[in-house]
Structure 1
Amino acid sequence: MSEKRGAAFYVLAIFFALFVAFLYGPIVTIGILSFQGPSGGLTFPMNGVSTHWFFDLFEQQAVGDFWGSFSRSFMLGLMVMAVTVVVSVMAGLAFRRRFVGATWLFYLAVTSLIIPSILVSLGVGLMFDIAGITPNWFSSAFGAQLTWTLPFGLLIMFAVFNRFDKSYEEAARDLGATPWQTVRHVVLPIIGPSLIGVALFGFTLSYDEFARTLMTAGSRNTLPLEIFGMTTNVTTPVLYALGTLTTVFSFLIICAALGAVALTRRRKARGPSDAGKGMV
């Protein structure tokens, strides 16, 4: 306890403090400015303190369609999340056994992570244009965002199954479980927390994705595109109120995912025998 800390400790502490300030400073600044008074502007110093702009956000705006873009981003996020989870699990199960072309298929799946996002957006948009299909948020934007979320889901599932103890599956088969019962009652409960993580990745990466949606959303904007468009037209703190609410919504999604992980682990630790009862 009496040991003195060296100079390196204080240097690293200052560096960490600067990192936290750089990471969360803009979020805090927007949150503070969103509480400007009714006659407040977009910069400091603040002209009064109120929740006026939060209430103004729920009224009809002269510029922007907040609720429409939010509903589209939310539905798109759910669609991307569902497909990402299902495909990632199926791919993780498939890659547990070697098959012809597995290596090349893996490289092909993760290639989209190193391709600039704007090029992916441009390419998908051109494909739809050549095919004579009108780009839209639920079709072309959906496909473009999957090129971003699926590689993350695949990498997580590969890491999970790389550490998976196959003796659990062997024990289930010894008890007479069918392959589907083994997956349902043994594999899925064990990897449940990881599936929630993949779902969280899929939703959050889709919810705030801008570049891959820019040229694929068509005439109806998602929330990131709408916010970007509003920055050139909205000159009141209502834009900051929108940013604060979307940030709070994102944190609520993360908290819900962490709560689901904790609940899954508690249920798994409560009684592994329950899974065996379902297979008998």
Structure 2
Amino acid sequence: MRVREPRPASFWPLAIVFALFVLFMYGPMAVIFVLSFQGPEGGLTFPMRGVSLHWFRQLAEGLGTVDIAAALRRSLGLGLAVMACTVVFSVLAGLAFRKKLAGAGTLFYVVVASLIMPSIIVSLGIGLEFRLLDTGVKALLERMGWQDQLDNYGTALGLFTSALGAHLTWTLPFGLLIMFAVFNRFNPAYEEAARDLGATPWQTFRHVVLPLIAPSVVGIGMFGFTLSWDEIARTSQAIGDVNTLPLELQGLTSTVTTPAIYALGTVTTVVSFVVIGVALALGGALSRRKGAA
């Protein structure tokens, strides 16, 4: 019979700290989730007054002048675009950094430097750049005498221009770090075997490299979407005259005084968990497939 070793003296203090950390991290989420299912007479605090889907129905009907459905579509579209760009650029950069590049160290630190810069400063800088671009474009149109184009020109600030760039300054460093870690452990013998069998560089990448790194690529996509989905600071000054769902949610916290705001928070959280669940399931399936191969 195996004798259980006694726990060290540090076990219970560390267990208490971990339990408090989990409670601090997930407790507010659980409270919002529960309060979002209150009845029509419910308020923003406990005790609950009934249980229903009333506030979710009200959310579907709209909250005043705010078009939640449009904001949701904008956030989903931006998140998917950020996810795609993060995956493509991270994989390409990971492949490029496998070879010796002049100034590779400097380039790497320039890319990851955005992680330590204040998000609002990044957003302000990108917004200023695009406003300067607007000024230049308008001056050029005026000089060329293209008055119709000048009258119809609005701004270069937008969801898939400045906002996309702002979000990529946040997601790309994470994707690059993951790819660098993956390729540092990658065995080049697989590629050499493929080349010996007559495979072209594209065939080697498609049939050998990509299947092996696919679980990590899925993880990068998950990071790209989820980091974009709830980003506020880098979006606020760089999106122009429209809002994403997190920006609308931030604005509603000072105007909506019903559990409808909790229902909106529950919906956004569920979307995040669905994306994470799909990514984990897909990553697990790809890992099992790679192991079977």
**TM norm. shorter chain > 0.5:** yes
* 1:4 CA drift (Å): 4.1
Asked if the contact 1:156–1:198 (Cα under 8 Å) also holds between the matched residues in 2, the reply is yes
Mapped pair 1:247 → 2:269: yes
Asked if the contact 2:71–2:244 (Cα under 8 Å) also holds between the matched residues in 1, the reply is yes
1:11-50 to structure 2, matched below 5 A, reads 11-50=13-52
> Counterpart amino acid of 1:136?
G
* 1:6 CA drift (Å): 4.5
Asked if the contact 2:76–2:229 (Cα under 8 Å) also holds between the matched residues in 1, the reply is yes
1:19-98 to structure 2, matched below 5 A, reads 19-98=21-100
Mapped pair 1:266 → 2:266: no
- Residue in structure 2 matched with residue 117 of structure 1 by the alignment: 119
> Counterpart amino acid of 2:181?
A
Local SS of the residue matching 1:100: coil
Residues 131 and 48 (structure 1), Cα distance of their counterparts in 2 relative to 1, 3 Å cut: same
> Which 4+ residue blocks in structure 1 deviate beyond 6 angstroms?
none
Asked if the contact 1:63–1:234 (Cα under 8 Å) also holds between the matched residues in 2, the reply is no
- Residue in structure 2 matched with residue 5 of structure 1 by the alignment: 7
- Residue in structure 1 matched with residue 109 of structure 2 by the alignment: 107
Alpha-carbon deviations, 1:151-188, whole Å to 9, x = none?
11111000000000000001111111111111110000
Compute the RMSD of aligned alpha carbons: 1.2
* 1:103 CA drift (Å): 1.2
* 1:230 CA drift (Å): 0.7
Of 138-147 and 41-50, deviating more is: 41-50
Q: Distance in 1 between matches of 2:238 and 2:173?
A: 20
* 1:56 CA drift (Å): 1.4
Residues 201 and 2 (structure 1), Cα distance of their counterparts in 2 relative to 1, 3 Å cut: closer
Asked if the contact 1:63–1:230 (Cα under 8 Å) also holds between the matched residues in 2, the reply is no
Q: TM-score, normalised by structure 1?
A: 0.94
Local SS of the residue matching 1:164: coil
* 1:97 CA drift (Å): 0.8
Pick from 150, 153, 164: which aligns with 1:142?
Answer: 164
> Counterpart amino acid of 1:165?
N
- Aligned length, in residue pairs: 271
- Residue in structure 2 matched with residue 162 of structure 1 by the alignment: 184
Alpha-carbon deviations, 1:36-91, whole Å to 9, x = none?
11011111122222221111111132142211111001000111111111111111
Mapped pair 1:127 → 2:149: no
> Counterpart amino acid of 1:155?
L
- Residue in structure 1 matched with residue 220 of structure 2 by the alignment: 198
Asked if the contact 2:62–2:68 (Cα under 8 Å) also holds between the matched residues in 1, the reply is no
- Residue in structure 2 matched with residue 237 of structure 1 by the alignment: 259
Q: Distance in 1 between matches of 2:237 and 2:204?
A: 43
* 1:263 CA drift (Å): 1.5
Residues 59 and 111 (structure 1), Cα distance of their counterparts in 2 relative to 1, 3 Å cut: same
Q: Distance in 1 between matches of 2:86 and 2:164?
A: 11
Long gaps (5+) in structure 2: 135-154
> Counterpart amino acid of 1:138?
F
* 1:3 CA drift (Å): 4.6
- Residue in structure 1 matched with residue 232 of structure 2 by the alignment: 210
Q: TM-score, normalised by structure 2?
A: 0.90
Pick from 244, 247, 269: which aligns with 1:222?
Answer: 244
Residues 63 and 235 (structure 1), Cα distance of their counterparts in 2 relative to 1, 3 Å cut: farther
Asked if the contact 1:84–1:199 (Cα under 8 Å) also holds between the matched residues in 2, the reply is yes
Of 99-108 and 219-228, deviating more is: 99-108
Pick from 194, 198, 207: which aligns with 1:172?
Answer: 194
The percentage of counterpart residues that share the same residue type is: 61
Asked if the contact 1:63–1:233 (Cα under 8 Å) also holds between the matched residues in 2, the reply is no
Alpha-carbon deviations, 1:196-252, whole Å to 9, x = none?
011011111111111000001111100110100111111110110111111111111
